């Protein structure tokens, strides 16, 4: 299957600029809310391959998107490691057994978590079958650092003081944890590849919390291990990998040097600056501010056009938001976004 999304990641010729949306299957879609209600809660939705498949396809059926992303969550790995993930309404993710002692880090199973995550590989197989080659399927994981922050904090946090204090007070234990997570992530992503995903993305949502040396030591180093550890060629196809560090503008060169195929940008970097810095080495994904989708259709079209005209060249750009879509966005505004990328982006119909 030749697709503009994969070709753009590999900097090969494309027919049109591809676009997908982070969290494209989510609460802003009424059909998602319906499926979630049917499941009872978010985690049951993730753990039912049939329902995960159903919601993965919803944005693909509604909009002219160029890729699908497996419906799951980055926190399934810590859940499989025994931390007891749950979501309390309006409060985001929580763990009933956070890593709050050094012993709990040492005790954390090193063994593969793959057998506890078969619901994800089952979902991938089912989604691939249902997509029937229409668009490629993205598999994903959290970065070890981002997973570690949730596991130590026991959920989200304002300043991540527990995770950062472990990093400063006891770096050896932090490295022990990050090592275990990197192995689990590599296993998990390779499992997704074997089940059929066409590309990978690693979400490092909280790498931007770190200063320069800490980012390199505690976040980037482990993403590099993942880039090295996953299968980049499988069943005759190249599996491109995209790295996303939110707030990562300072490290674009180092991220591009990891050996990844693409760097995903949040909205704080101008894409032309990013392209000047690293554009020859890797493809770029992004980077519309998700809040632009609150504005009028005219304004959305203008902002999309601004990003597209900044990017020079005929391939190597995958349009996306700079972070996940927010739950109160009007779905019709997503249509405006997707259609205007195709209208104003690269068009090569010969
Ligand atoms: O992009 C997609 O459509 C695929 C699905 C996907 C979800 N989470 C579904 C989800 C992906 C790729 C993720 C990644 C994820 N999960 C990240 C990294 C990306 C990012 O946003 O920075 C993080 C940090 C998480 C952890 C997580 N999961 C949080 C903080 C929350 C609560 C956030 C919120 O908006 O309430 C979740 C829940 C979650 N994951 C939802 C969805 C659709 C909302 C759950 C619901 O239906 O109530």
C-alpha of residue 325 to centroid of ligand 1, in Å: 10
Q: What is the pLDDT of residue 113?
A: 85
Q: Is 73 a catalytic residue?
A: yes
User: CB-hemisphere CA count at 13 Å for 341?
Assistant: 27
Token pair for 257: 């040097």
Q: Is 27 a catalytic residue?
A: yes
pLDDT digits (tens, 9 = 90+) for 93-130: 999 999 989 899 988 876 668 889 999 999 999 999 99
Task: State whether the beta carbon of 219 lies less than 6 angstroms from ligand 1.
Answer: no
Q: What is the pLDDT of residue 187?
A: 95
C-alpha of residue 312 to centroid of ligand 1, in Å: 32
Tokens 């002219």 locate to: 64
Q: What is the pLDDT of residue 97?
A: 95
Residues 123-154: b if buried by 16+ CB within 10 A, e if exposed? bbebbbeebeeebbbbbbbbbbbbbbbbbbbb
**165 burial level (CB within 10 Å; 0-12, 13-18, 19+):** exposed
E strands along 191-326, which residues?
A: 199-204, 233-234, 237-238, 241-245, 262-264, 283-288, 317-321
Whether the model clears a pTM of 0.95, i.e. scores above it, the answer is yes
Task: State whether the beta carbon of 294 lies less than 6 angstroms from ligand 1.
Answer: no
User: Which of the residues 36, 79, 261, 301 is marked catalytic?
Assistant: 36
- Yes or no: say if 222 and 143 are a contact pair by the CB < 8 Å rule: yes
Which residues of the chain have a pLDDT value below 70? Answer: 1, 110-112, 349-350
> Which residue lies with its CA nearest to atom 23 of ligand 1?
74
* C-alpha to C-alpha distance for 287 and 21, rounded to whole angstroms: 10
Q: Is 150 a catalytic residue?
A: yes
Task: State whether the beta carbon of 119 lies less than 6 angstroms from ligand 1.
Answer: no
Q: Is 36 a catalytic residue?
A: yes
Q: What is the pLDDT of residue 349?
A: 55
Q: Which domains does the chain have, with CATH numbers?
A: 33-58+70-246 (3.20.20.210)
- Yes or no: say if 102 and 176 are a contact pair by the CB < 8 Å rule: no
Can you state the angle between helices 49-62 and 30-39, rounded to 10 degrees? 170
User: Which of the residues 41, 62, 73, 122 is marked catalytic?
Assistant: 73
Q: What is the pLDDT of residue 91?
A: 83
Per DSSP, the three-state class of 211 is coil
């Amino acid at each position: 299957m030749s697709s503009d999304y994969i070709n753009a990641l590999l900097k090969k010729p494309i027919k049109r600029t591809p676009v997908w949306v982070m969290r494209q299957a989510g609460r802003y879609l009424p059909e998602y809310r319906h499926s979630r209600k049917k499941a009872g809660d978010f985690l049951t939705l993730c753990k039912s391959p049939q329902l995960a498949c159903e919601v993965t396809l919803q944005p693909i059926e509604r909009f002219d998107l160029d890729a699908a992303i497996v419906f799951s969550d980055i926190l399934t790995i810590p859940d499989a490691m025994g931390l007891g993930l749950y979501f309390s309404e309006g409060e985001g993710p929580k763990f009933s057994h956070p890593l709050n002692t050094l012993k709990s880090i040492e005790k954390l199973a090193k063994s593969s978590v793959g057998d506890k995550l078969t619901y994800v590989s089952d979902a991938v197989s089912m989604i691939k079958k249902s997509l029937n080659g229409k668009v490629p399927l993205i598999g994903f994981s959290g970065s070890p650092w981002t997973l570690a922050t949730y596991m130590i904090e026991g959920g989200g946090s304002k300043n991540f003081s527990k995770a950062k204090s472990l990093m400063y007070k006891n770096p050896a234990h932090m490295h022990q944890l990050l090592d275990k997570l990197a192995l689990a992530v590599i296993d998990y992503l390779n499992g997704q590849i074997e089940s059929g995903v066409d590309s990978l993305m690693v979400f490092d949502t909280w790498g931007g919390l770190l200063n320069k040396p800490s980012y390199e030591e505690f976040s980037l180093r482990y993403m590099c291990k993942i880039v090295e550890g996953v299968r980049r060629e499988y069943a005759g196809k190249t599996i491109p990998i995209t790295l996303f560090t939110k707030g990562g503008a300072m490290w674009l060169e180092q991220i591009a040097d990891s050996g990844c195929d693409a760097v995903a940008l949040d909205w704080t970097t101008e894409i032309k600056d990013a392209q000047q810095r690293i554009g020859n080495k890797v493809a770029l994904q992004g980077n519309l501010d998700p809040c632009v989708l609150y504005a009028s259709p005219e304004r959305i079209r203008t902002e999309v056009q601004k990003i597209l005209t900044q990017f020079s060249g005929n391939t190597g750009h995958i349009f996306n938001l700079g972070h996940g879509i927010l739950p109160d966005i009007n779905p019709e505004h997503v249509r405006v976004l997707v259609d205007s990328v195709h209208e104003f982006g690269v068009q090569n119909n010969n």
